[in-house]
Amino acid sequence: MQFFFDICYMASKYHFFKKYRQTLIYSFSLAFLLFLMKWLEYRFIIFNHSFKIYAGIIAVIFTGLGIWLALKLSKPKVETIIVEKEIIIPQADGFIINEKELQKLNLSNREYEVLEYIAKGLSNEEIAKKLFVSISTIKTHNQNLYAKLDVKSRTQAIEKAKRLQIIC
């Protein structure tokens, strides 16, 4: 039965080609001529305007190269710097002052008191009132402390004193 359907299908297909033979030949020839004309047109454009086309291609290449180079050169150079810093955990119970370091630094009793008040976070005025001295005297003690501890700020002085275990 299938064979019969195949024969009928092929016969109908053949009949379609036979019936519309002239139309198919005409349409395929028109398509071929249209393709040929477009190909000749593009070829004509390329030959007549070849310098402009090549100059345009070179301009596009150099524009792309310029953009790539600008992006490459203007990219910020980011460096990651890892800073290792020792963290001192204060010992609340049984803190012992490191007497050797204290003698090595040669701090006076008053300078040591000022250092303790600085570590508590008091200002120069507050320290002067507690110790019954002038603010300029406290500033002088601060400068002596900075010189003996080899630091430049209150924060550095406190950090170094804690590291040396002369304050808690």
Confidence check: pLDDT of 1 > 60: no
Rounded CA separation 38/151 (Å): 84
- pLDDT reported for residue 91: 58
pTM for the full predicted model: 0.46
**Mean pLDDT score, 149-160:** 89
Q: How many CB atoms lie within 10 A of CB 53?
A: 13
What tens digit of pLDDT does each residue of 7-32 get? 555 556 667 777 777 887 888 888 88
Rounded CA separation 143/152 (Å): 9
pLDDT band at 134 (very low <50, low <70, confident <90, very high): very high
Q: Per the structure block, which two tokens stand in for 34?
A: 């249209």
